[in-house]
Structure 1
Amino acid sequence: MSFEAGAKPRAEGENLLARIALRFAAWSEHWFPDAFIFAAAAVVVVAVAALVNGASAAVVTKSFGDGFWSLIPFTMQQVMVVISGYVIASSPPVARLIDRIAALPRSGRGAVAFIAIVTMALSLINWALSLVFGGLLARAIAEREDLKMDYRAAGAAAYMGLGCTWALGVSSSAAQLQANAGAMPKALIEITGVIPFTQTIFLWQSMAMLAVLTVVSTLIAYWSAPSPSRAVTASMMGIDAATRTPPLRPRERPGEYLEYSPAITLLLAALAGGWLIQEFAAKNWILAISNLNTYNFGLLMLGLLLHWRPRSFLNATAKAVPATVGILIQFPLYGGVTAIMTAMTPEGHSLALRLAEFFSSINTRESFPVVMGLYSAALGFFIPSGGGKWVLEAPYVMQAANELKVHLGWAVQVYNAAEALPNLINPFFMLPLLGVLGVKARDIVGFTALQLAFHLPIVLFLLWALGLTLVYTPPVIP
């Protein structure tokens, strides 16, 4: 009997919430279109709304075309986040590190909790790195014969970085965008100004929320993992967990000499190291790391060093590129949507201003974090893109924050914390991890849905309570 044929009785033995989540995952996997369709639909809906708001067809179409390429710098930056994360995680030294730490857990449940902790920590640095590293760690532990780990629960734990904590660290697309004037659309700068990391992810309130969510997620991962008698292992699912990245093939031609020599790697790393030393010496380290170009540059050069030979680095890069397709295709659409939303009518009222007025009218300073958190989480299920969705929301959300005197950095963190919630049940960002694990979304989403049931009320409460401790300051326009 195959795993699929025997899975139903096991699912029925789980708690009610897990059964509902598994059925929902199967339904969404069957009926939900590609995320590109949601982005394209957003263009159509916003264009129609702008026309209803009084903008002419000429203004709407021109705004769409003008804005289509407005996010190209940020798009490429996010592509490099994915590539650098994959390159580092798949390097031989990191692969050996994974094998070593895979020997640390002493029980199946302990292994699941351990994977959750590791991936949440890594997600604060690079969300793509956390996905790939977490998936490879789950596979390495699944190889062990001395403990019986539920592979589905382990896969869900490997997703906790992106499903819980990534947007509260330097990997946050929204915080990175707000800290980099060169990457922001001009219309957004005029509303929010530049908001440094000290006012977003490095707020003590943000770090307190991160600590709470890390502890809660780890405990849920541990207690929701099935006992050894009920665990479904990788072998039971027909998965060979021993899969490894193939070694380099032998050099065949003289022209490949430099591809296999570390000389080029060392020279590039020396140049990069010299620049990074000067960059951090000239600036406060927080300001230096807030620059997404500096962040990506350092990670990419680290990946090159870890692979040692240029050919190994290039092979890893080639494998990482397919994971960037969604970013490359969707972000230009988000840029067009932003331009349409901020295009002025003859009366001087953009769609973004209308929405800002609406959210200001139904909110107070105290209710803003909860209402906007719920709104952002709901929208995130249909537009699964942290940076792209922020560009859509920011013009009217941040305008409302200004009018209600909500701390602008905390408004960004409201988005960050809430935006991660739909990731727990949306298959879009699971795709890179699922590819590493060799499973389907429905295999792990029951466990991630259980996390969502706990996260939603906790996140909303923390956004409200911690937001009360912050004082509004006007935006700084460069």
Structure 2
Amino acid sequence: MKNREGFLARAALRSAAWSERWFPDAWIFAALGVLIVAIAVLSFGATPQATVGAFGDGFWSLIPFTMQMAFVVIGGYVVATAPIVARFIDVLARVPRSGRSAICYVGLISMLASLLSWGFSLVFGGLLVRALARRDELHMDYRAAGAAAYLGLGAVWAMGLSSSAAQLQANPASMPPGLLKITGVLPFSQTIFLWQSIVLTAALILVSLLICWLTAPSKDHARTAQDFGVVESSTPALPPRSRPGEWLEYSPLLSILISLLGLGWLAYEFASKPVVVAIANLNTYNFLFLTLGVLLHWRPRSFLNAVSRAVPSTAGVLIQFPLYGGIAQLLTHAPGSGGETLAHRLSDLFVHVASTDTFTLVMGAYSAILGFFVPSGGGKWLVEAPYVMQAANDLHVHLGWAVQVYNAAEALPNLINPFWMLPLLGVLGLKARDVVGFTFIQLLVHLPLVLGMLWLLGETLQYIPPVMP
């Protein structure tokens, strides 16, 4: 068994090194997707005018959702780097008593945090690893701990509150009109809060922790942060005030007043609506994190500095989502011969390939494969949803579970795709090839587990027709 694990780890490292050298930027994949869909639309009889019109009309159609997803990243980073949270991380780092338990500890906290916010999970998990690495007596393997910090993104994030697919389906104002007509509104009670979803999430957490324990290198073979040339670092200290005009930037007065307004609105929102309905609104979700960020940073200058450090991580979302909006519009609003859109034709093909009994397996495998080439949870859902959900309707598959099939399956390629690793790797000072050997072993176990449980649990659900707002 030991030799086999060593072989798999070496194979994963070679795969990561190859992808880092040859894979282009994720925007290139999105741009190629636009061209492929446009060519397909034209080949099925759409006019050039209808094709370019659909692309242009869809390009800016997702601006609200784009900004919402960008603020998921910003809000998570701002809260995780607040001074009081940083001190809390130091306290958490005192708990483990060995390197192996520290790795499992990081994995558990990362996965639980990702159910609230994947952006927060990445930064918080990375900072926790850095704090644990300062404890020389643990002899913790820095690579394995970094891989454990990534399990939030690689295992369960899409099963939680920051699931872009579940959030999109629960918010009709953020949905493309064509998708809304197919699925209607799917509240969280029909997606992430299904008991089947909770069982799957719990199983993934437990299995992931078991793999962390079994693959953690012993003290004699552990490579520490010092072995990678990583020195202790912390959030840059707030520079002293240099001119009188900066008084309000360094005073907590504005932070307190703004936070009181924000917390007051949140209290009213949660008091006037069911908790599930209130938190399902992505604007409310982001508002909560930003309000906490302002309050926890205390001084406006500290908050603004944190936002400035977070913004570069949103570049991929900002520049890719307009292309995904164009793809979604091409799929659903560029009629070809017979007046049928490409989304309609793809749904027909999906129905022919899948059956009611095999839908979850076919969709899960398909979503996982596509995730290697389109590493964007929300963007990929916008590409897939129109025809996948139409097929679910035609086959009478539970629509909320179809969303969860996507959520569980699309996280699988994250385990070895470097795209989503970048914010965490920036915190850790590592490269993808340093951690992917451990995440690759997770993938080998997760793949059959996820597909099997998706099929088994899906058998317990009955089809519910779409509910329009």
TM-based fold match above 0.5: yes
State the distance in 1 between where 2:30 and 2:203 align.
33
Supply the distance in 1 between the matched residues of 2:97 and 2:166 (Cα, whole angstroms): 38
Q: List runs of 5+ in structure 1 lacking aligned partners.
A: 1-10
**2: CA distance, partners of 1:93 / 1:270:** 19
Separation in 2, partners of 1:12, 1:155: 23
Instruction: State whether structure 2 residue 273 is matched by structure 1 residue 309.
Output: no
Q: 1:326 aligns with which of 308, 313, 316?
A: 316
SS in 2 for 1:202: coil
Q: How does 1:79-478 map to 2 (within 5 A)?
A: 79-240=70-231, 242-342=232-332, 343-478=334-469
Q: Who is 1:55 aligned against?
A: 46
Deviates more, 1:340-349 or 1:113-122: 340-349
Q: What SS does structure 2 have at the residue aligned with 1:105?
A: coil
In the alignment, which of 17, 21, 25 is matched to residue 16 of structure 2? Answer: 25
CA distance in 1, matches of 2:296, 2:261: 16
Match of 1:297, as an amino acid?
A: F
Q: Any idea what the Cα deviations from partners look like across 1:202-247, whole Å, max 9, x if unmatched?
A: 000000000000000011011101101010111011111x201121
Q: Give percent identity, aligned residues only.
A: 63
Contact 1:12 1:19 in 2 (8 A): no
Please state how far the C-alpha of 1:14 moved relative to its aligned partner.
5.5
Is the contact made by 2:368 and 2:412 (CA closer than 8 Å) also made in structure 1? yes
In 2, Cα distance between equivalents of 1:133 and 1:267: 27
DSSP 3-state at the match of 2:338: coil
- The runs of 5 or more residues in structure 2 that have no matched partner are none
Of 73-82 and 339-348, more deviation after overlay is shown by 339-348
Kindly provide the CA deviation profile for residues 129-166 of structure 1, in whole angstroms up to 9, marking residues without a partner as x: 00000001001101102110110001100000000010
Quick check: 2:42–2:336 contact (8 Å CA) kept in 1? no
Give the letter for the 2:301 counterpart: R
SS at 2:136's partner residue?
A: coil
Which is worse superposed, 397-406 or 47-56? 47-56
TM-score, normalised relative to structure 2: 0.98
**1:344 to partner: Cα distance:** 1.6
After the TM superposition, which segments of 4 or more aligned residues of structure 1 sit over 4 Å from their partners? 11-14
RMSD: 1.1
Distance 1:246 1:350 in 2: 52
Shift of 1:13: 9.7
Q: CA–CA distance in 1 between the matches of 2:138 and 2:401?
A: 43
1:67 paired with 2:58, answer yes
Tell me if structure 2 keeps the 8 A contact 1:70–1:332: yes
CA offset at residue 362 of structure 1? 1.2
Q: Secondary structure at the match of 1:15?
A: helix
For 1:88 and 1:222, the matched residues in 2 are separated by 29
* Distance in structure 1 (CA, Å) of the matches to 2:3 and 2:75: 41
Tell me the SS of whatever aligns to 1:58: helix
Residue identity matched to 2:30: A
Deviation at 1:280, TM superposition (A): 1.1
Q: Quote how far apart the aligned CAs of 1:345 are.
A: 2.0
3-state DSSP of counterpart to 2:109: helix
Residues 368, 413 of structure 2: 8 Å contact kept: yes
Q: TM-score scaled to structure 1, two decimals?
A: 0.97
Deviations 1:270-314 (A, max 9, x none): 111111111111111100000000000011000111100000000
Distance 2:136 2:208 in 1: 26
Paired residues of 2:110 and 2:149 also in contact (CA < 8 A): yes
